[in-house]
Amino acid sequence: QGGNNAGHTVVVDGKEYDFHLFPSGIINPKAISFIGKAILEFTKFGRSSSSLCFLHIASCLKDWEKRLIISDRAHIVFDFHQAVDGLQEVQRQAQEGKNIGTTKKGIGPTYSSKAARTGLRICDLLSDFDEFSSRFKNLAQQYKSMFPTLDIDIEGQLKKLKGYAEKIRPMVRDGVYFMYEALHGSPKKILVEGANAALLDIDFGTYPFVTSSNCTVGGVCTGLGVPPQHVGDVYGVVKAYTTRVGIGAFPTEQINEIGDLLQSRGHEWGVTTGRKRRCGWLDLVILKYAHMINGFTALALTKLDILDVLDEIKIGVAYKLGGKRIPYFP
């Protein structure tokens, strides 16, 4: 997973759940859910909500904390990461006249901290809190120097974080060893769930209108520490039409009554942002491109019934560049 910016609406037995970070297997009382090398946000900790973001789902599910495991290597999203995410979007709009359309969940700034080797992980939070506090203050000061208008309640944040540490401590494990035991111990069925779509991958997506993580199948190896030879079937999940939240190229988009119909009939709203999803015809070029990268062994086609009311259905079959068809995704 790449953080809680991705939203998934899951309906089970007539009940609707909105997932942001939890694996959707958390609904299954027989399954153990594992959050790997993700990035975790604590700010909603303990609030009453129907959304399954992080540790505030007691009202929705029974004994969820007994079947949730969190990797000690997961990076932490702080409040100032989220504030900076918003400030950067304002800067982009002012300087370039356009922004990226992020969810303002602090995902990009947290990955920036990670890449700069100044990020803080769950293992840091649960070990020496004085050392953690010192590194937290240094990181906060770095961001304050870059964004002078940024207001950070350092002591207040640290107090909250210390409380969160004790609440999650029983759930935290060495993630690599946990996966090794799962793969080599008694036979288990292991299903890995990705967040975001292939075209939002930081390396292979429609850059720069992408997320900050690897949400292609390679994320199974880099996110969980699973060796490639253990990856079996790969299921691509695709709607019978194409959608996109936020800015970025969308050749088959229908900015007309067709797009409105797909949006309304398909209930196409961003789970995290509440924004309307942009809708258009199924784009087989990007589907084939996603297959080139992920090597799907099967496709799960969803929402075919949304098209039932249409007399004619169109599908994007090829791209042209300079008047000529091209066999690749440019």
Q: How far apart are CA 298 and CA 227, in angstroms?
A: 21
Q: Could you tell me if residue 155 is left (phi over 0), alpha (psi between -120 and 50 degrees) or otherwise beta?
A: alpha
Helix axis angle for 79-96 and 107-115, nearest 10°, is 100
Tokens coding 266: 């398909």
Instruction: State the catalytic residue, choosing from 37, 66, 114, 324.
Output: 114
Quick check: helix, strand or coil at residue 287? helix
Q: How far apart are CA 51 and CA 7, in angstroms?
A: 10
Write the CA distances from 88 to 57, 80, 95, 143, 220, integer angstroms: 31, 12, 10, 12, 30
Dihedral angle computed from the Cα positions of residues 288, 108, 114 and 20, in that order, rounded to the nearest 10 degrees:
-70
Sign of CA dihedral 267, 204, 22, 131: negative
The half-sphere exposure of 83 on its side-chain side, counting CA atoms within 13 A, is 15
Q: Determine whether 114 is an active site residue.
A: yes
Is 304 in contact with 240 (CB distance < 8 Å)?
yes
Question: Annotated catalytic sites, by residue?
Answer: 114
